[in-house]
Amino acid sequence: MASTATAQNLSFVLQGIHQVSYEDRPLPELKNPHDVIINVRYTGICGSDVHYWEHGAIGNFVVKDPMVLGHESAGVISKVGSAVTSLKVGDHVAMEPGIACRRCEPCKSGKYNLCENMAFAATPPYDGTLAKYYVLPEDFCYKLPTNLSLQEGALMEPLSVAVHIVRQASVSPGQTVVVFGAGPVGLLCCAVATAFGASQVIAVDIQQPRLDFAKQYATTATFMPSKSPAVENAERLKQENNLGTGADVAIDASGAEPSVHTGIHVLRNGGTYVQGGMGRSEIQFPIMAACSKELTLKGSFRYGSGDYKLAVGLVASGKVDVKKLITGTVKFEDAEQAFKDVKAGKGIKTLIAGVAE
Ligand SMILES: [Zn+2]
Ligand SMILES: [Zn+2]
């Protein structure tokens, strides 16, 4: 194992399934005058990181060579390129970890999260942010206002995912929203929907501790589905919450097939359904209900134009609280513990502290 004291760019590397190690990687370089180097200070771990650690792959993304993990980070600017104007050494920033090509059709149409040539941290073959230093273009770094800590900065990644989902759903004031899955992204969807003016936000999960947390975090109610068919759960959800003919918006942040079914059935005619969670790639789907209710169905992938900026703004203005989601912090040397915690469903968000300069 590389020693913390002497390593120039200590990195947490996935070698193979359940095989991790610390490597001293070369210092990142400014590849472009608009690049900045960040000393990474806090990194959150999410389901996708844990999936790579456990299975070495997500769908078609297969880890073939050792890969640095992590993509939910915040840090301190330690070097700036000659053309950088918006940031200076010492600035605290949230790091957006996917660099779009800026040239393909989706990029040029303003949907850079759908870039055909995306280089995304900790998605093979691109290294992640669990390193002492990381390089990004300046416009993928978001300066944290003084009332936001670096720990909160690391939460801007999952919050941006939630912002994108709720924007895809076009949640507007007075609407009723049902969110399936009360993990970090589901909870943050509840918080963003509330900030967007939803009058009722109902969190659905099959784990009571998660619902207990959701109850005191940005929801108006919670719901525990039973083992009965989705149509029956949807009926009970509507009745218990006086949703009349159904909810305006259903968001899936779980990826679980029963949630997808209940989500479709809980919507009113003309409602909107957004798929944010990633579960099995093929499922059965109540397509007749989607058709006859004339639902709007949308996917949501990562985050795009304006999402990080809005995420920072929502927390800075006190509309969304991300502090409550932070369960604890482990040292960089104990990074694997954070993976074990997520796997075991312990807490909500464990952060890994970075290697300070
Ligand atoms: Zn993530
Ligand atoms: Zn592109």
Nearest ligand, CA 117 = 2
Pick the CATH number of 160-299 from 3.40.50.300, 3.30.70.890, 3.40.50.150, 3.40.50.720: 3.40.50.720
Ligand 2 center to 110 CA (angstroms): 10
Ligand 1 center to 121 CA (angstroms): 10
Any idea how long the chain is?
A: 357
- Mean pLDDT, to the nearest integer, of 140-153? 98
Summarize pLDDT for 240-259 with one digit per residue, the tens. Answer: 999 999 999 999 999 999 99
142-145: list long-range contacts, CB under 8 Å, 24+ apart: 142/93, 142/94, 142/96, 142/308, 142/309, 142/312, 143/86, 143/87, 143/91, 143/92, 143/93, 144/74, 144/92, 144/93, 144/94, 144/312, 145/312, 145/316
Residue 1 has pLDDT above 70, yes or no: no
> Residues of the chain with pLDDT > 90: what percent?
90
Residue 226 has pLDDT above 90, yes or no: yes
Ligand 2 center to 109 CA (angstroms): 10
Nearest ligand, CA 112 = 2
Helix axes 184-195, 307-316, angle to 10 degrees: 70
Ligand 2 center to 84 CA (angstroms): 22
Summarize pLDDT for 293-342 with one digit per residue, the tens. Answer: 999 999 999 999 999 999 999 999 999 999 999 999 999 999 998 899 88
Residue 184 has pLDDT above 90, yes or no: yes
Domain ranges in the chain with CATH number 3.40.50.720: 160-299
Nearest ligand, CA 154 = 1
Residue 201 has pLDDT above 60, yes or no: yes
Domain ranges in the chain with CATH number 3.90.180.10: 10-155+322-353
CATH number of 10-155+322-353: 3.90.180.10
Ligand 2 center to 250 CA (angstroms): 30
pTM: 0.97
Ligand 1 center to 82 CA (angstroms): 31
